[in-house]
Amino acid sequence: MIVDLPDTTVSKISRALVNVREEGGAVALGRVLTLIILTREGAVEEVIEAANDASREHPMRVIVLMLPDGDDSESRLDAQIRVGGDAGASEVVTLRALGDAGRSNLESLVTGLLLPDAPVVVWWPNRTPDHISKTSIGRIAQRRITDAATKSNPSAWVADLGEQYAPGDTDLAWTRLTRWREQLAAILDQPPYEPVVGVRVRGASDSPSTALLAAWLRLALDVPVDWAYLDPEEWPHGIKSVALVRPSGEVLLERPTPGVAILTQPGQPTHDLAFPRRTLRECLAEELRRLDPDVLYGRVITEGWQLLDPPATKGTQA
């Protein structure tokens, strides 16, 4: 069910939500959180689809706030409510703030629509302000999610994460590393239990996850990490390879093609592993599983990043 509310107010939207629940049988009981999405026009359906998919694991109310660029029109708030099959296991409220309505305190647009006594998570899928924890929306949230991969200069964005970090912040570039971190941790939990004396990390030039993986390994293993971005013609997207150097030889986890990784270890047969790139829905759902600060992420972008040497020259081979 979709209900359009042109030229409306927050109180009218709140009443309409109650009416929709009463008429359609939808209930707010069981909603575990409120997810606020601040996005640009033109990217709304993609983020709503990801939120709807994630809501099947985390039933929630989704508030999508669209702020048009360079808008000088009359102050107005347009809204739309989606429930049932159009909203997955969530309630979706989209808000399009025009004129002064989109330039005033954004917190006032969403406060009356928050679920009572439920955590608040804010997600900036594309445009992101500086110091998100200090924004009016960021201050009311337990968790704040950004995505370095959507920035024009992902490397510079990652380098600044530590300077702006506050407990509760996270970035989807870190979430995309989960499969890599799990596999590398599993390798170190198996014989021969030798120390790692060096690490090499290689990835695409547009991959902020490459830098975060290098910082995590530097922090976790306390050994030098040689990392570099590859030429786009050699490797277009994401992480290419990680090598763990041990006294008995080198353990190499490398993707020859996107979606597949090959694990090579001294004295053992090679293993082919399914290593697809994680979808936006998977990353968002993972971040919504925890509503407490991600302490490890905070340490990686502050302590780990400070310990990490600058990347080697682009195009260096793994």
**151-207 pLDDT, tens digit each:** 999 989 999 999 999 999 999 999 999 999 999 999 999 988 999 999 999 999 889
Q: Helix crossing, 44-55 with 280-288: angle to 10°?
A: 50
In this prediction, residue 212 carries a pLDDT of 97
* One domain, residues 128 and 206: no
How many beta carbons lie within 10 A of that of residue 264, not counting itself? Answer: 15
Question: Is 96 part of any domain?
Answer: yes
Question: Is 206 part of any domain?
Answer: yes
Tell me the C-alpha distance between 283 and 209, whole Å.
13
* Strands (DSSP E) found in the chain: 2-5, 33-39, 60-66, 76-82, 91-98, 120-123, 143-146, 169-171, 198-204, 225-230, 239-246, 249-257, 259-264, 271-275
Tokens 């702006």 correspond to what residue? 164
* One domain, residues 158 and 27: yes
Residue where one domain finishes, among candidates 152, 171, 190: 171
Question: Is 14 part of any domain?
Answer: yes
* One domain, residues 37 and 85: yes
**Pairing, β 198-204 against β 225-230:** parallel
Residue where one domain finishes, among candidates 171, 203, 220: 171
Tens digit of each residue's pLDDT, the chain (318 residues): 889 999 999 999 999 988 887 776 555 556 889 999 999 877 899 999 999 999 888 899 999 998 776 656 678 899 999 987 666 667 899 999 887 766 667 888 999 999 999 999 999 999 899 899 999 999 999 999 999 999 999 989 999 999 999 999 999 999 999 999 999 999 999 988 999 999 999 999 889 999 999 999 999 999 999 999 999 989 998 999 999 999 999 999 999 999 999 999 999 999 999 999 899 999 999 999 989 999 999 999 999 999 999 998 655 444
* One domain, residues 123 and 231: no
* One domain, residues 62 and 10: yes
* One domain, residues 46 and 193: no
Do the beta carbons of residue 131 and residue 153 sit within 8 Å? no
* One domain, residues 190 and 255: yes
CA separation, residue 253 to residues 32, 184, 269 (Å): 38, 8, 13
Question: Is 317 part of any domain?
Answer: no
| C-alpha triplet 287, 293, 297: angle, nearest 5° | 75
φ, ψ dihedrals at 295, nearest 5°: -65, -40
In this prediction, residue 163 carries a pLDDT of 94
* One domain, residues 124 and 220: no
Question: Is 312 part of any domain?
Answer: no
* One domain, residues 182 and 208: yes
Phi-psi category of 277—alpha, beta or left, where left has phi over 0 and alpha has psi -120 to 50? beta
Question: Is 302 part of any domain?
Answer: no
The one-letter amino acid code at 317 reads Q
Question: Is 293 part of any domain?
Answer: no
* One domain, residues 196 and 95: no
Question: Is 123 part of any domain?
Answer: yes
* One domain, residues 32 and 130: yes
Task: From 140, 314, 305, select the one nearest 231 (Cα to Cα).
Answer: 314
**Pairing, β 33-39 against β 169-171:** unpaired
What is the tally of structural domains in the chain?
A: 2
Task: From 118, 146, 119, 153, select the one nearest 132 (Cα to Cα).
Answer: 146
Q: Look up the domain containing 152 and give its range.
A: 2-171
Do the beta carbons of residue 260 and residue 275 sit within 8 Å? yes
* One domain, residues 136 and 95: yes
In this prediction, residue 76 carries a pLDDT of 87
The one-letter amino acid code at 150 reads T
